[in-house]
Structure 1
């Protein structure tokens, strides 16, 4: 991240965030990608899940790089290669909704890693206090963030926005404004130690609550289309993965979140990437004038929701990785009130 003069608002907020670990001992140091730990207990849990899906005998299990929530493993059996996900964050109903939606769009050919049901037709294996989902394993790699990858992912989320939400699906946004307000109340004691940060979060929450009164087209959104949730092979998008945050929300939410993932380079918005992303999206679903007008604020809403998500987990289990992510997001929110919003408007012409 580029250094800023110390009298700028972001730096004052960043210093407060960097102070958080001083009050909470045992914070891990920043390092390279951490790999999921495989022990005998987890190996047994995965074996039970694979057997429940009728996928043959396990031959090899390999831990994959850790994200911010779930734990994933590559599983090779005598019938093929699969992905085992230990579900550590979302409640059972939300996991079932994810499987329900993906099953409903399987015939569409949408590029995704689809879950593999157990032989009894249910998606989740419960064993030894663990919850396991088994998915198709898609070979490929995380893409470089370029105009081409942004265009392809933009087209994918545009296509996703046109798919029907199945009956019985009920998951709502994780960026719920009432939950955000409740978090600021219940964690006020901890947050008041950092008054400028706390004040900024309160003000931002009030502004986002006002923005949410605007009626925008709604439907299914992935809600987390960042590079590490996409798989490319030979320069082509082959799968959008990790639908656990998916929900019904304003369709523009997916555009805003994907701009955070594919519209920035070195913490600054890149107009060429944002333009390519929007072109890809609008090849599937044109945005209305109102949506284009609201786009900078929607990007800010997404950054605000991510900040609160990471901050909540940081308070529960402080790590240097969470600390760094919160700092990045606070920087981005500050800029989305000014320069970053101007870049987005220059692309949309609004």
Structure 2
């Protein structure tokens, strides 16, 4: 099985593809302009955003430039895809564009008055969700661009907000002078369905596992992560000793958490029990890790292998890959 690692740096014209198990450089993509952003769609298409607003699309297998997305007046800062149907690009000027992924045709444009923090697709891909920096949420119809609804509840008190595509719900944490409370909003009827209990400190980030409805919640200015189950409305476990600067979490098929805190890539069970630390050929900090194996747009099924270490108990021989965004020391390997 081949496990690929795709690495880039904003100060290098080279995008490198490694075989993780063999610790070997497979190929490199020569870029004509410095990359500002890289995203993978359809497992084999590499999207490279450059400073003039264009997005170059490469075939990863052949390392050939196959197309360009043009028309952005400013640099693209975020890209989100939905299966092989739709693509959202977000520019520095608060403009979001929706594209048809199959023919790369432009569908519609959204101009925001407030800067957009995050862009998402709904679970079925029929809605586009824009989360602004003021805590407001706007929902648009994907094919027409018509605004369907919005969430503007207690904007002055919004402390954290994140949409979970897997369950079509939006987590919003509020804080006033008396209390701090966390609501889970349902995108179907735009009302909050749950008040999550036990969060007495500010949330730094949250990650959702649609297999068992766990939330992995990182706490601001803390080395702690809380595992909270939406169905039982209880805190299942707490994980201590993580780096408190930047954390990224992915879930495996058997509900293990793969936590990257820049210093380490760690594996925990959903009960908070430490399983192992992944050993890679990378000696420096990893700033981002994403498991792309076995995903579909509704249920994320992931598998991660590292040398002879098998993280999941899944015996399927499906294609797996890891995507690491890393510093410029990779340039020394070529």
Q: Which has the higher contact order (CA 8 A, sep 6+)?
A: 1
- Relative to total residues, which structure has the larger helix share, 1 or 2? 1
Could you state the TM-score of these two structures normalised by the residue count of structure 1? Answer: 0.29
Structure 2 length as normaliser, TM-score? Answer: 0.30
- Write 1 or 2 for the structure with the bigger share of strand: 2
